[in-house]
């Protein structure tokens, strides 16, 4: 068995962590429209997602899930077998956090581990291992799609922990090339720029601090459609790292990554955060560092 190849989602089973809102609720909708059965594994559902699940409960199932607990990730496979009669064909590690006040680099709110690392790194890696074991145990081909970010190969001074976690995911996905080639389990990553999701739209203070602007934000639906293409299109093999932003879409090579954009003359069109927004994002950091600096 080698390479997943093209995958028609009709009749397939998708498991999506973080599917209760935003990008991955959109992916769940698209998957259902193509005839797939879907498990949304999340801490809770938004009102919008609740309506979807109640309307389509035979094929769209909500599973309460704390992705920091391996047993609850394992339960995704168990639930799929009980409800749909087989393990999922597609596993989407969509849950993640962006520098929350309770787990970030600058505020020092944790004494030991970073919960953001458990959610953003450990959960996708564990889910990949769980998916691999489940698929091989049933001699099935399948796909694992991991939500990374453009900050996974750039950087973000005001969100360095988030950026570091996404760097880790890009490296992990690149390391999984041979899993597709030899075992028929395709592991890929999608790396969006800024996306119009509740993370920003429901939190004006966060939006102001980190420089969110509609003009440089892409829709959740667009990202979900790109995810679907990664899953279904066999030309995207395991190890693919795929970028989507208002500047366009492209596969990110391993070496010499150029800035996003339509040409070398205007490489950053649609992705640049204005300097005044960056200054606003950095203000709390400068305050922290000023308090820590020894003064005469």
4 part of a folded domain? no
Residue 5 lies in a domain: no
**Does residue 263 form part of some domain?**
yes
Q: Is residue 3 part of a domain?
A: no
User: CA 113 to CA 11: how far, in whole Å?
Assistant: 40
Q: Are strands 248-251 and 241-245 parallel, antiparallel or unpaired?
A: antiparallel
pLDDT at 198: 77
Residue ranges in the chain modelled with pLDDT below 70: 1, 261-272, 296
Residue 6 lies inside a defined structural domain of this protein: no
CATH number at residue 143: 3.40.50.720
At 252-279, the pLDDT tens digits run 998 888 877 654 455 455 566 777 777 8
- What tokens were used for 100? 């929350």
The pLDDT tens digits of the residues spanning 223-237 come to 999 999 999 999 999
What is the Cα–Cα distance from 156 to 237, expressed in whole angstroms? 29
Output the average pLDDT for the chain.
91
* CA dist., res. 260 & res. 239, Å (int): 20
Domain that holds residue 154: 13-292
**Domain assignment of residue 269, yes or no:** yes
Check if the beta carbon of residue 3 is closer than 8 Å to that of residue 234.
Answer: yes
1 located within any domain: no
Count of structural domains within the chain = 1
Chain centroid offset of residue 35 CA: 23
Predicted pLDDT at 296 = 64
Q: CB–CB of 196/220 below 8 Å? A: yes
Q: Is residue 275, in this structure, part of any structural domain at all?
A: yes
């Amino acid at each position: 068995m080698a390479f997943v190849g093209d995958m028609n989602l009709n009749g397939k089973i998708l498991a999506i962590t973080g599917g209760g809102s935003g990008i991955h609720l959109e992916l769940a909708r698209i998957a259902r429209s193509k005839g797939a059965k879907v498990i949304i594994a999340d801490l809770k559902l938004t009102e919008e997602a609740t309506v979807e699940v109640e309307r389509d409960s035979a094929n769209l199932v909500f599973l309460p899930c704390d992705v920091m607990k391996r047993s609850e990730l394992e339960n995704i496979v168990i639930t799929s077998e009980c409800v749909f009669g087989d393990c999922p064909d597609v596993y989407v590690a969509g849950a993640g956090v962006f520098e929350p006040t309770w787990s970030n680099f600058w505020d020092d709110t944790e004494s030991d581990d970073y919960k953001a690392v458990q959610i953003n790194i450990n959960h996708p890696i564990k889910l990949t291992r769980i998916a691999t074991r489940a698929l091989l145990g049933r001699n099935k081909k399948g796909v694992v799609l991991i939500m990374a970010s453009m900050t996974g190969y750039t950087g973000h001074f005001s969100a360095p922990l988030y950026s570091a976690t996404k760097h880790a995911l890009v490296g992990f996905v690149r390391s999984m090339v041979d899993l597709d080639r030899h075992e028929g389990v395709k592991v890929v990553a999608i790396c969006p720029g800024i996306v119009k999701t509740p993370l920003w739209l429901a939190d004006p203070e966060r939006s102001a601090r980190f420089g969110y602007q509609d003009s440089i934000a892409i829709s959740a639906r667009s990202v979900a459609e790109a995810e679907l293409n990664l899953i279904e299109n066999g030309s995207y093999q395991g190890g693919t790292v795929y970028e989507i932003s208002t500047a366009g879409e492209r596969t990110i090579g391993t070496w010499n990554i150029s800035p996003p954009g339509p040409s070398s003359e205007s490489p950053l069109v649609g992705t640049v955060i204005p300097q005044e927004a960056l200054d606003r994002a950095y203000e709390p950091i400068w305050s922290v560092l000023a308090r820590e600096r020894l003064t005469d």
